[in-house]
């Protein structure tokens, strides 16, 4: 069933945003790719953006590029944070809370993908699950009250890849020690992010808190997501997809997350992104949300496990 695009046949685009002067956005992994482009769009509308990045050199280069485009007074800065390290996440969250009194939206954008060989983070997690899910789970928890005080929102950037794996969580072997597979593990990490978001919506509603949670995906976008850590076959097939034009620009890939961070007329129990062929590109709007993503038992079990693994109890 096709879902009618509420933004018309061309879908949502940054022209839908009026002014973001006075708004404050926080985004992970914004020195490059869709996160960088999302930052550009937000700044172009007058917002302030704080990037949470792991690499200071790349972050300074990104800031220089943004200042060259928008002028020296543009309000963009970065806080160093490695999502693969929970103590780094805690330190960055503390810095955010000390410096930023308003968070209109927190965009969980940073990620790694298709890591060819199993890698384990310092906290003992398979790296894709550790960076993409556990890092953001903890960060959202640490920042939640400030987001609530700001009547803000959380935006989770997932992937169509969430459908391409087990379509559930492999609780009996979360690190995939027995059956490591780069794509299935990435798929599980992006599914875990979505499940976290939908479970959080329920908890927010029950607790009567004033935070919105939205989920989106960027389609297939020409970014640096597939890197040396991916297998040669994956890198070659991605390069081929880009060459034949199946991947849209990183800027277009940023539209769904910017939309979820700024647009008023969205549903929470939904999944937004490009709606064209295979959702690779095309008009940005509502995509089909598969029932397996909302499996109540899996959502609850993942939440409990994530609290235990990150040693963080949400006060919700
Ligand atoms: N591109 C696509 O076709 C596609 C498709 C589906 C979903 N997505 C999703 O879109 C989002 C943006 O990805 P992208 O395509 O723009 O990829 P990208 O160009 O590789 O950008 C990823 C960003 O995440 C950062 N990052 C990686 N590991 C990190 C860590 N441990 N701590 C902090 N930051 C970290 C990277 O920093 P460094 O530069 O320092 O590595 C980079 O800034 C991701 O959530 C991804 O899963 C992308």
pLDDT above 80 for 1? no
pLDDT (tens digit per residue) in 190-228: 999 999 999 999 999 999 999 999 999 999 999 999 888
Spans of all domains in the chain: 19-307
- What separation in Å is there between the alpha carbon of 206 and the centre of ligand 1? 32
Q: Identify the residue whose C-alpha is closest to ligand 1 atom 8.
A: 159
- What separation in Å is there between the alpha carbon of 132 and the centre of ligand 1? 9
User: 3-state SS of 135-196?
Assistant: HHHHHHHHHHHHHHHCCCEEEEECCHHHHCCCCCCCHHHCCCCCCCCHHHHHHHHHHHHHHH
How would you list the strands of the sheet with 105-108, edge to edge?
Answer: 76-80, 48-53, 24-28, 105-108, 153-157, 212-216, 271-274, 284-287
| Closest approach atom of ligand 1 to CA 190 | 47
- CATH code for the domain defined by 19-307: 3.40.50.720
Write down the pLDDT at residue 2. Answer: 79
pTM of the model: 0.98
- What separation in Å is there between the alpha carbon of 271 and the centre of ligand 1? 19
- Mutate which of 26, 33, 183, 242 for ligand 1? The one with the most ligand atoms within 8 Å of its CB, which is 33
pLDDT (tens digit per residue) in 238-261: 999 999 999 999 999 999 999 999
Q: What pairs with residue 242 in β-bridges?
A: none
pLDDT (tens digit per residue) in 282-301: 999 999 999 999 999 999 99
């Amino acid at each position: 069933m096709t879902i009618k695009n509420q933004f018309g046949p061309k879908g949502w685009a940054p022209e839908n945003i009026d002014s973001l002067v006075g708004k404050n956005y926080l985004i992970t992994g914004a020195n490059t790719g869709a996160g960088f482009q999302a930052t550009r769009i937000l700044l172009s509308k007058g917002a302030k953006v704080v990037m949470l990045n792991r690499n200071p050199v790349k972050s300074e280069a990104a800031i220089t590029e943004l200042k060259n485009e928008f002028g020296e007074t543009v309000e963009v800065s970065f806080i160093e944070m490695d999502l693969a390290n929970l103590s780094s996440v805690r330190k960055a969250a503390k810095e955010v809370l000390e410096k930023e009194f308003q968070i209109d939206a927190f965009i969980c954008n940073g990620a790694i993908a298709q890591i060819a060989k199993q890698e384990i983070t310092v906290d003992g997690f398979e790296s894709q699950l550790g960076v993409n899910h556990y890092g953001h789970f903890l960060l959202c928890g640490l920042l939640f009250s400030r987001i609530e005080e700001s009547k803000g929102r959380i935006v989770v950037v997932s992937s169509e890849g969430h459908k391409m794996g087990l379509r559930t969580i492999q609780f009996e072997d979360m690190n995939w020690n027995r059956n490591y597979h780069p794509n299935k593990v990435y798929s599980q990490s992006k599914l875990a992010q979505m499940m976290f978001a939908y479970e959080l919506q329920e908890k927010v509603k029950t607790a009567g808190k004033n935070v919105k949670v939205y989920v989106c995906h960027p389609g297939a976008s020409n970014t640096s997501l597939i890197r040396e850590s991916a297998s040669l076959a994956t890198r070659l097939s991605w390069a081929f997809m880009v060459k034949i034009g199946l991947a849209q620009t990183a800027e277009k890939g940023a539209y769904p997350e910017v939309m979820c961070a700024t647009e008023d007329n969205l549903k929470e129990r939904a999944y937004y992104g490009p709606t064209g062929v295979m959702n690779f590109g095309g008009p940005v709007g509502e995509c089909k949300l598969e029932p397996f993503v909302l499996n109540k038992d899996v959502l609850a079990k993942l939440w409990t496990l994530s609290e235990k693994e990150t040693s963080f109890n949400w006060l919700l």
